Structure formats: C-alpha cells, structure tokens
Amino acid sequence: MRMAPGGPFDGERKLPPEIEANLLAAYNMDQPLYLQYFDYLAGLLVGDFGPSFKYKDFTVTELIWSGFPISFELGMWAMLIGIIFGIGFGCYAALRQNTPGDYLVMSTAMAGIAIPNFVMAPILTLVFGVMLGWLPAGGWNDGAWQNKVLPILALALPQVAYIARMTRGSMIEVMGAQFIRTARAKGISERKVVTRHALKSALLPVISYLGPATAGVITGSVVIEQIFGIPGIGRYFVQAALNRDYTLVMGTVVFYGGLIILFNLLVDLIYGWLDPQIRYE
Amino acid sequence: MSNATFAAQGDSLMKDALRRLFLNRATLVSTLLLSVMAISCFFGPLFFSIELDDVSWEFMGTPPGEGGHWFGTDTNGRDLLLRSLYGGQISLTVALIATLVSLVIGVSYGAISGYMGGRVDNLMMRFVDILYSMPFMFLVILMMVVFGRSILLIYIAIGAVEWLDMARIVRGQTLTLKRKEFVEAAHALGVSDRQIILRHIIPNALGPVIVYVTLTVPKVILLESFLSFLGLGVQEPMTSWGVLISEGTANMEGAPWQLFFPAAMLAITLFCLNFIGDGLRDALDPKSR
Amino acid sequence: MNVHTSATAPALPILTIDDLHIDFALHTGTVQAVRGISFELYKGETLALVGESGSGKSITAQSILQLLPEPVRYTQGSIQYQQQELIGASTTAIRKVRGDRIAMIFQEPMTSLNPLQSIEHQVAEVLIEHKGMTRRQAAARVLELFQLVEIPDPKRRLKAYPHELSGGQRQRVMIAMALACEPDILIADEPTTALDVTIQAQVMALLKGLQHKFGMAILFITHDLGVVHQFADRVCVMRKGQLVEQGITEAVFSQPQHPYTCELLDSEPSGNKPPVSQDAPVILDAKQVQVEFPIRAGFLGRVVNQFRAVDGISLTLRQGQTVGIVGESGSGKSTLGKALLKLLDGHGDIHFDGIQIDGLEPLAMRPLRRKMQVVFQDPFGSLSPRMTIGEIIAEGLKVHEPLMRPDQRDEAVCAALEEVAISPASRNRYPHEFSGGQRQRIAIARAMVLKPKFLLLDEPTSALDRSVQVRVIELLRELQDKHKLTYLFISHDLAVVRALSDHVMVMRTGEVVEQGPTEEIFNCPQQAYTRELIAAACPLGSSAERACNPA
C-alpha cells in the first residue's frame, strides 16, 4: 500500500531532507517494504498496530481503545432498537397483510431504506436540534444522554427498516406453511400459533441477517460520528483516510474485520442453537 | 390454460412477467420517474448556457428561484440544479459500471463454481464465505487511500466488492438447473455441454439475476455517495450527490435548499430502484404464479 | 375384503354436511371449488371421499375445521358436528372442536410438523391445551401414544425433531397427535400418498386398528381407489366440486351408478403384454452394472466413503420387449436406468444395438443418442420453461440432422405432435400453458421425433391422475406396436408395470430381489419382499368382474 504516490508527511511545506529522513527512520520507513510488512504482522500478533502517523503522540492501539467504547455503546443501542422495533413492525405488518396498517409500515420502511443515513442524520438534526431545539444538534458533551439520542436514532432507523421488511416477508411465508395449518388444527389460539410456532421460524432469516447488520451499523457509525462530531473510531478512521495515515487506516480495518468475524461467529452459534436441523448436521 | 382458447402464439414466461410487472402501479410509476431522472441528468446540462463551475458573483448562496437558479446556488454561487444533474450523472454511471463489473465477475464465478461442482465448487465458495465476513466499506476506503482517488477506481472498487451475492445466486441457480430433468433430457438428446449452458441454463437463471441486479444498483449508488460524502469520492470540480449533500449538511441552517435538492434526488432515485426491484421479484417469483 | 358391516348407521350422524358451497374470490375471478355437496358421517365408520386432483375433496375436508385460508367464502350450506353449526362459529367454539373432538392428519408429514420443535413437545401441546394436563402428565401420555402408534424405541425418540425421523415415523407422530384427545372424528387428508407402498400399508393397518380401539369415525380423503376398496365402509365420489355418487363401498365398486365412477374404476390400468419371441434381436445387453456415489464430508468435501446405488445388475432387452423395474424410493431403479443410457457414470459392460458403449467418449456417443431416448417423471420439470414446445421437440433434430431444412424440421415436429394427439397448431406455445398429461405427451413427442429404437420411461405416469395415466399408457402401447419400440419401464406403481411390461425386475437397495415374466412374478412371487409389495399395492380386480350399468 505504500507504493502509492504521496506520503503522510507531504505537508504544506517541503520538509528539509534530513528531518524527513529522521522521521522515516523513526517509523521504520527507510527499510525495504517487505521488512516493514513483516514488522507490522509481528506487531499485530501482540495487539500492536504500530504508531499513528498523524496523531504523533499516540499509538494506533491507544486511539482505537479510546474510541471503541463510545462507538460500541452507540452501535449496541442502535442494534437493539433495530431488532426490537424491526421485528415488532415486521410482525405487525405481516399479520395485518394488505391492510392500511401494513401499507403504512412498509412504505415507511421503504423510506428508511431509500433515504441514506447521511441524509437522515442532517434532517434529524435540523428538525429536533435546530427547529424544535429539543436535543443538541451535535457534539459529545462527555456522553450526556441528550447527545446520544439523535446519533443512535440515525444509526438505528435503516436497521429497523431492513429488519421490518425481512420479518414481514418471512412471517408471511411461515404463516402459509403447512405446520401452521397443523397447529391451527390442534385447536390452539391464533396468538399461540403465532408466538409458539410461527415466530421462531420466521426469525431465523432475521438472525442470519444480524451479521451483515453489524457491518451495516459499523459502516453507518463512520458517517454518523462524522456528522455529529462524536469521538468514536469511525471519526478517527475518516480523518486517517483523508490524511493518508496508513497505520491508523490499516489498524482500524483489521480491528473492524476481527470484530465482524467475531459477530458472524456469534450469529452462527445462535442460529445453530435455534435450528435443530443445523445443529445435528 | 383452457384448451378451447388456444391461440397459435404462446405467451412466454418473460412476457407474462412483464405484464404482471406493469400491473404493479408502484413499479410502473418508479420506472417512468427513473427514466425522467436519467434523461434529465444526462441531457439536461446541454440546455444550460453556463458551465459546471461557472460562478455568478451576484448570486452567492441564493435561495431557489432567484436569478434564474431554480434550485438556488451554493455558497460559491454555482448553480445547484446544474450541479445536481452532473452529480446524478456520476451516480448513475457508477451504478451502471459497477453493477456491470459485479455482474461479470459474479456470473462467471458463480456459473463456473456451480457447473464444476465437487471440490472446485467447495473451495470457490469457501473463498466467498471468507470474503463475506470482511467489512467491505472499509476495504473500498482502504483501496481509495492506497491507490489514490480516481473516479475509475471507484467504479472498479465498488464493483469488485459487490459481486459476492451475485456469485452465490448464480451458483445456486446453476446447481438446481443442472439437476433439472429438462437438462438431463437435453443430455439424452445428445446436446453438447456448451449448448446446454447457452440454451437451457443461462436463460433460466436470468430471472433471479435480473432481480438481483436491480437491487445491486441502489446499493452501489448509496456506496458511492457515502464515499463522496466523506470526501473520499469524486474530486472538485466534478461533483456527485454525496458531495452536494455533504456541502448541504454544512450549510443546512442558513441554506436548507442546498441539502434538500440533492438529497431529494438521491432519495427519489433509490426509492424508484427499490420499488422496481421489489416489483421484479414479485413478478418473476414462481411462487406468485 | 374386510368391510365393517358392524358399522350399521345409528340414528344420528355425528357430522352432517348439507348443500355445502365454497368459493374462492381471487382477483382473476371467483372460483367455485365446492358446489353443493351433502353427506353424513356416522360414529365408528370409515367414509372415503374420492376424486382426482381439482375435485374439491381436500377443500371439503379442510372446511370442516374451518382451516381454509382467506379469501374463502362459504356461500351456502352447513357443516354440523353433533347439531353444532361450524360455519361461522366463533373462534373459541371452533377451537374447542379442533384437535379435541375432530382431529386431522395431512398428506405431507415432513412439512406438516414444526421443524423447530421436538415431536414430544408438539404432541404434548394438544393435551395441555384441551385436557388441561401439566407438562409432566402430558409427557407420560405422549410416551403411551407413541407406543400406541408403534414408533420404534419411543422413549429415545421423544426428544427427536421431525427431520430425524423417516416419512412413515413422521406420519405416526401426526397420528399420535391427532389421537391424543381420543377424538370422535379423524379426518385423514391423503395420509399415505407421500409414502412408499409398504409403509403405506403399515400406516393404513395402524389407522384401522386404532379405529377399532377408540371407535372414532374416519373421513378418509384419497385419490387411490385401491386403498378405498380395502379400508372404507362407504364412499363418496367427487368430481369438479360436486358429489356424483355415494354408497356402500362394495356396492359402488361392483355396481357403479354414475358414468364418472365407471370411468374412474376403469382407469385402473389393465391389460397385459405378451412376451416377445426369444430370437428377437437384442437391443440392450448389460452385465454387472455398478454405480457408486462418493460420500463427502468435512471442510473441503473429501470423499470419505462410496455409496453403492446399483450393485452388479445384469439385464437383456430384446426388440419389442418391455422390461419393468419396480422398487421403492432409494432402491436405485432410476440410477440404473440412467447408467444404462450413460447419463451417469457407472461400471460394467453395456452393449447397445451391438455396439459397446461403456467407456465411449461423449462425442462418439452422440450418434447413438438418437436411438435411445428418455421420458421423465415430472411433467413440470422435464420441459425447459423458456422454450416453445416446437423448439423443445426440434432441439434433437438440430443436433442429429443439422442439414435438415427448417420447413422439413417443422413438418417433423408437427408429425410428432400429431402422433401424441396434441394439436400441431399449438407448437408455438410454452410448456406452462399445458396440463400435466399434455406435457407428458410433449415429452414423449420430443423422444419420438428422433425415431428411437429404445425408450427409457422413468416413472412417466406417476405424477398424473389415474384417468390421465390410462390414456398415456394407451399412447405408449400404440407407439410400441407401431414402431417396434423397446421399453425399459421404471415405476413404483405395480399396477402400471403389470399392464405394460412382459418382464419384471424387482429392486431393493441397489440389488435385484427377483425377476421373471410379469405374470409369473405377480401370480406366484418367490420372495417375501415381492409378496409384501404386491399385497400392499391392493389391486382392484379387472373390470370384467364388474357390472357397469350407469343410471
């Protein structure tokens, strides 16, 4: 990656050559590329992502750990809201298929999908922050709850929309399945038919979507943190990308990659636990 | 299907699906709206006497309508309508090229994997599984950081990460079609492998692929505007909806129209594409028949 | 046969259906699925509702428990369970009847059970709901029920999930669930159609035994006249939503009153095929054919074992002969057929028309392909859905006679269609516009247009209704006589095999159980398995014994 033209120290002014040489040496950049690469890999193994190029006093690891708790908190809330409301709205729409309620939920969900969160976030700020003045329009304020509401909402809305659409689709399919007819023939109430028999089957596709949903929330957090000025990993990442801060970009990508793989693993485990047909395979 | 009313000319499945598709009013309206959007983005700028980066000094950050600027101007006094149309060009071109890239990679990868079967298939699909768990947005950004920002690279980078689903779908289709009795019947007739793929497998796999393409297009457009919004996409003086929205967000308190117009255009395009995708899926879904 | 004459009608029927009309309001128009049917069900009897697909028999059955999905409309008539009207009854009232007083079992035991719940849980649910049992009480009762329906090793299977059971066992679970509350009425909607014949016989025997024990009435929905003859006390014949005839089973079978009933009874395949002379030329000669499938496992799908689907089978087919291969699912009969045509890789010597074809390259094989053709089972899957039937039939000609002029080819296609009694004018239509029987004719035309010597018929009539089946069988007979064709006929349906073939081979788990001239095998089978198969198929007897005098 360092074969690309331009470097992190190409500032406004041209640095005197000896200073540049010193800098490069400090970051091991005077060594051949393959050595740099192996050094980096060795560092990764012990959790060392190397020093940041731009935030000169911090290592990448320190930067990631300072931003992570904040990003994690926002992400978790967003996922939670996405799952609860998504499943709720999806079931509601599925069980009232082709009624005004269904149409309302589904067209709202379509809006949630079609309006990207970097449009949604400014709109939310404009309405609740500027026009109504209920909540602060941005900033972090050391994690006061008022400052968290809008970013969490902006992160969660697309997930609510996706999960609602998915739940509705699979719920409708399951409700037409033959084992639902069997359940009805047993004489149990419609509410029990839904909660005991349909819900679990209908949620399987939603469970397997949780992996991609995590990736979606993480991706979304990059732009949301940027818009609201939240000191999470996402914001560091964008700054790093704009500044060509290689180690920080690389470190964040590796960190997120690991996180997403971890989540996918977790989702697979949950899925296997829920679906006996997978469990025994 | 009654025997009495057999006309000489049959209805192909495709014709049937198209008829169903346009019975769906949301899809019909979306298709028309999208066509209007595409035509105005590509041909609209021809009717302007000004250029993309022409600055009108007397109208800086004016609201819509003033001085013949229907969408108003940005803070530098550039016409927002013209800029939005150019932005649309970028978005739609990205959609076209990146989708094409993903289509080519995905279809050939999936078809090869499915048709070869066995261990080759297994290895190829494991590779896809591994790539699946990668955070794509970040890989694209990494590519932008490493190779510098060129518009061509955006096309390729997005296409290169969006082919996974396509490969899976095509593989699944190939696998089921390979086992269908009409393919076996063709084997029994002595039809060659090449002809079987061309005449029997590809035409029948097309339905799901078309549906998936229409769902990839909005994803790709979103990805590009996302990058541009972050400042990692197209560079000045070229612009895109993402860049315009980003600029609009910065000035939304004083000049909300700068956010409104490009955001509305982007949202309408995404709306239409999603509706068309949904409509196509319903129309081509064998279960709805 | 064992007709229960003991079930003489008591004063009051327990279920009365009177002038029932059922409509479905679809956006393409209203479909009248059931048009004015009336019948009564009495305590302890078995009433069969017989009809072909589309006769409305399943819809009638489901209407009793009000299980039909929207947009169903009950426009007229009544359904009364012991004087209680079920149409339009409140959901609570219906729920008290469902599963408790009237229980139901369905055709597909796999999809009718919840895949995510253990079978114990699913059966216990009925008991907890209707009998107010605790979980523990219910569990004990479920075990009893499983013993009652003869699920092997019931204790260990309690916690099993549906996918871990065989088809027959799943249907037993469904029966256990239905009998849990000892209902007055059991509605069985094609309960054995998805099962192999031997399993089918076991399940029917079980149902009959349980009926004796509990004294419930069974409403039995089926298309299989053989099963009706053997198990039902009374029978109702349905056609296009109407009831054409009802009566005591013996009477209906021996003296049918309605022409449609006659047609149904006569649609039982009949006739036989005289053997060909021993010096007719040999068309296909195969020795020690073996087919193995690799069993893969692990991360990269390593081959861990071989599954032997066909294990050393030899057979000889002479010109004009029809060899029938019978066997249940998994017996390897279809695999054998495909291996003989080299549609699958196998081992063993195969000579076709005097040429050794094992080990032949695909290119060298191609000219031989036109002499050996196939007709498959599935009339929906065997025609490419995006080609017109004209193109489908012409495809073989394009491969084998590339120099043929388009108008000549068109002529050949028309001739082939005429031969199978499909109007050549419809050759520009697509497969989905034809009915199942018509599609099977088209598949036969596709094979016949090449003027083959040998046809592999892989369950060509299994997906068709009996009356349609008979016509396809007639067509196959005509074609054989006219063109001196040789058939290899694969089927699980013994009646069809008996009617069409002069030599029969019985297969089980990849091996030949028994083979010989058809009449010998059917009249004095030597092996226990063959006897079991023939007994399970319960044939109806020939139409000659029947006095057909429609009113």
**Which of A40-54, B233-247, C193-207, C380-394 shows the lowest mean pLDDT across its residues?**
A40-54
Mean of pLDDT values over A65-92 = 89
Could you tell me the CA-to-CA distances from C373 to B65, B265, C151, C448, C487 in Å, in that order? 75, 59, 44, 8, 10
Q: Decide which of A125 and C28 is more confident.
A: A125
CB of C25 within 8 Å of a chain B CB? The answer is no
pLDDT at position C538: 58
C15-101+181-266 and C319-347+358-548: identical CATH topology: yes
Residue C504 sits at the vertex; the CA angle it makes with C503 and C509, to the nearest 5 degrees, is 150
CA distance B183 to C381: 9
Residue A22 has pLDDT above 70, yes or no: no
Q: Which chains touch A (3 or more CB pairs under 8 A)?
A: B, C
pLDDT digits (tens, 9 = 90+) for C83-124: 888 888 888 888 888 988 999 998 887 788 998 889 999 999
- Please list the residues that pair with C286 across neighbouring strands: C315, C350
Model pTM?
Answer: 0.78
Chain B residue with CA closest to A258: the answer is B134
What backbone torsions phi and psi does residue B249 show, to the nearest 5 degrees? -60, -40
Chain C residue with CA closest to B125: the answer is C300
Contacts of C116 in chain A (CB under 8 A): 200-201, 274-276
- DSSP letter for C464, please: S
pLDDT at position B134: 66
Query: What percent of chain C has pLDDT above 70?
Result: 93
pLDDT at position C429: 85
CA distance C411 to C417: 10
Q: How confident is the model at residue C235 (pLDDT cuts 50, 70, 90)?
A: very high
Using a 10 angstrom Cβ sphere, with 0-12 exposed, 13-18 middle and 19 or more buried, the burial of residue C542 is exposed
User: 């399970």: which residue's tokens?
Assistant: C536
Q: Which CATH class is domain C319-347+358-548?
A: alpha beta
pLDDT at position B54: 65
Task: Tell me which residue of C32, C300, C387 sits closest to B204, measured CA to CA.
Answer: C387
**Mean pLDDT of chain C, nearest integer:** 85
Whether residue A30 contacts residue A221, with contact meaning beta carbons closer than 8 Å, is answered with no
Angle between helices A246-274 and A33-45 in degrees, nearest 10: 40
- Decide if A187 and C98 are in contact by the 8 Å CB cutoff: yes
Whether residue C509 contacts residue C503, with contact meaning beta carbons closer than 8 Å, is answered with no
How many B×C Cβ pairs under 8 Å?
100
Chain B residue with CA closest to A241: the answer is B145
Q: Which CATH class is domain A60-274?
A: mainly alpha
Contacts of A239 in chain B (CB under 8 A): none
Assigned CATH topology for domain C15-101+181-266: Rossmann fold (3.40.50)
Could you tell me the CA-to-CA distances from B202 to A167, B63, B177, B212, C432 in Å, in that order? 31, 53, 9, 15, 19
Domain that holds residue B86: 22-44+73-288
Mean of pLDDT values over C223-232 = 85
Whether residue A216 contacts residue A66, with contact meaning beta carbons closer than 8 Å, is answered with no
Q: Decide which of A178 and B2 is more confident.
A: A178
pLDDT at position B62: 66
pLDDT digits (tens, 9 = 90+) for A240-275: 877 777 777 778 888 888 888 888 888 888 888 887
pLDDT at position B73: 67
- For chain C, the structural domain boundaries read 15-101+181-266, 319-347+358-548
The tokens for C146 are 């499983």
Helix (H), strand (E) at residue C80:
strand C72-81
Whether residue C466 contacts residue C52, with contact meaning beta carbons closer than 8 Å, is answered with yes
Residue C432 has pLDDT above 50, yes or no: yes
Cα of A4 to nearest chain B Cα, Å: 6
Angle between helices B25-43 and B257-284 in degrees, nearest 10: 130
End-to-end CA distance of chain C: 26
What backbone torsions phi and psi does residue A129 show, to the nearest 5 degrees? -90, -50
Q: What residue type is assigned to position C497 of the chain? A: V
- Decide if A182 and C97 are in contact by the 8 Å CB cutoff: no
Mean of pLDDT values over B64-81 = 68
Which of B141, B225, B258 is most worth mutating to test chain A (most A CB atoms within 10 A of its CB)? B141
What backbone torsions phi and psi does residue B75 show, to the nearest 5 degrees? -65, -20
pLDDT digits (tens, 9 = 90+) for A34-64: 666 666 666 665 556 666 666 666 777 777 8
Whether residue C323 contacts residue C317, with contact meaning beta carbons closer than 8 Å, is answered with yes
pLDDT at position A13: 47
Contacts of C382 in chain B (CB under 8 A): 181-182, 185
Residue A281 has pLDDT above 60, yes or no: no
- Beta strand spans in C299-403 (E): 302-318, 322-326, 347-352, 355-356, 372-375
pLDDT digits (tens, 9 = 90+) for B242-289: 888 878 777 777 777 777 888 888 888 888 888 888 787 777 654 443
Q: Which of B142, B230, B256 sits opposite A223 (nearest CB)?
A: B230
pLDDT at position B286: 46
- Please list the residues that pair with C85 across neighbouring strands: C80
DSSP A222-268: HHHHHHHT--SHHHHHHHHHHHT-HHHHHHHHHHHHHHHHHHHHHHH
User: In what order do the strands lie in the sheet containing C15-26?
Assistant: C29-41, C15-26, C72-81, C84-85
- Where residue B98 sits, what CATH number does that domain have? 1.10.3720.10
Which of A95, A102, A186, A193 is most worth mutating to test chain C (most C CB atoms within 10 A of its CB)? A186
Cα of B79 to nearest chain C Cα, Å: 50
pLDDT at position C504: 92
pLDDT at position C325: 92
Whether residue C224 contacts residue C193, with contact meaning beta carbons closer than 8 Å, is answered with yes
Q: Decide which of C498 and C380 is more confident.
A: C498
pLDDT digits (tens, 9 = 90+) for B99-155: 888 888 888 888 888 877 777 888 888 888 777 766 667 777 777 777 766 777 777
Task: Tell me which residue of A70, A81, A1 sits closest to A251, measured CA to CA.
Answer: A1
CB within 8 A of A185, min separation 6: which ones? C65, C67, C98, C99, C103, C104
| 3-state DSSP assignment of residue B179 | coil
| 3-state DSSP assignment of residue C497 | helix
Mean of pLDDT values over C185-211 = 86
Task: Tell me which residue of C271, C284, C275 sits closest to C452, measured CA to CA.
Answer: C284
CA distance A162 to A268: 20
Query: What percent of chain B has pLDDT above 70?
Result: 79
Q: Decide which of B15 and C265 is more confident.
A: C265
Cα of A168 to nearest chain C Cα, Å: 18
pLDDT at position A85: 93
pLDDT at position A36: 63
Q: How confident is the model at residue A279 (pLDDT cuts 50, 70, 90)?
A: low
Whether residue B251 contacts residue B258, with contact meaning beta carbons closer than 8 Å, is answered with yes
Residue A194 sits at the vertex; the CA angle it makes with A191 and A196, to the nearest 5 degrees, is 95
pLDDT at position A12: 44
Whether residue B258 contacts residue B74, with contact meaning beta carbons closer than 8 Å, is answered with yes
Residue A5 has pLDDT above 60, yes or no: no
CB of A136 within 8 Å of a chain B CB? The answer is no
- Decide if C164 and A189 are in contact by the 8 Å CB cutoff: no
CB of C193 within 8 Å of a chain A CB? The answer is no
